[in-house]
Amino acid sequence: MAQLDRVLFNLVAPLVEDRENLEVNVLPSDSEREVVLNVRAKDDDIARLIGRKGTMASALRQVMLVASHADDKRVTIKFEKI
C-alpha cells in the first residue's frame, strides 16, 4: 500500500516557498475506501497550490487518483491555511 500522504507531500514540497510550515496529514473518513488528505501551508503557498481557477489543485487530484488506483482508494484533498 502506498503512503498517499508521503506521495502528496513529495509532489507539493517543490512547489512551496516555506517547506518548514508545509504539512500533509491523513484525516479520518466515513468510508473505508476513501482517504482524506489535508494540506496545510501559509497563505501564499496555498494560493500557489490551488492555482488560478483551481488548475493546480485539479492536477494534483488527478495525479493522486493515479497513485491511489493500485490500492482501490478514492483520494480527497483539502487545502488549509496556517
> How confident is the model at residue 63, as a pLDDT?
95
> How confident is the model at residue 2, as a pLDDT?
61
pTM of the model: 0.91
Q: Please tell me whether residue 66 adopts helix, strand or coil conformation.
A: helix
Domain 4-81 classification at class level: alpha beta
Half-sphere exposure of residue 53, counting CA atoms within 13 Å on the CB side?
A: 1
Q: Where are the domains of the chain?
A: 4-81
> How confident is the model at residue 1, as a pLDDT?
42
Decide: residue 32, CB within 10 A, 0-12 exposed, 13-18 middle, 19+ buried.
exposed
> How confident is the model at residue 70, as a pLDDT?
87
The per-residue pLDDT string of the chain (82 residues; one tens digit each, 9 = 90 and over) reads 469 999 999 999 999 999 999 999 999 999 999 999 999 999 999 999 999 999 999 999 999 999 999 889 999 999 999 9
